Amino acid sequence: MLKLNSAATSRHVNTLTIDVDKDFDGRLMLYIDQGVLKKYEPVRSDMHVCTLVGFMELCAAAGYEISALNQYSCTIPTN
């Protein structure tokens, strides 16, 4: 069971408590708005999290060509 508690305080640092099962092993993505935990999501082992720039670099490394023909274009090479 995954349980997160967040308490907003008047201090500059808020306390975030994460209670997980003793067999939990993994990563979490947290959405915190103004110091208050709003949502969390476990990151599965088959998930990859990166920035848009990181995703574009990953695509380029895989052989995709990214061009600026228009704001919605991406060329997929055909072999």
pLDDT confidence of residue 37: 80
Per-residue model confidence (pLDDT) at position 33: 85
Please write the tens of the pLDDT for every residue from 5-61.
655 555 566 677 777 778 888 898 888 888 778 888 889 989 989 999 999 999 999
The number of folded domains in the chain is: 2
Q: pLDDT tens for residues 49-66? A: 999 999 999 999 999 987
Residues 33, 63 within the same domain: no
Q: Which domain holds residue 59?
A: 48-79
Distance of CA 70 to the CA centre of its chain: 27
In 3D space, the residue among 68, 9, 4, 72 whose CA is nearest the CA of residue 35 turns out to be 9
25 and 7 share a domain? yes
| Same structural domain, 37 and 59 | no
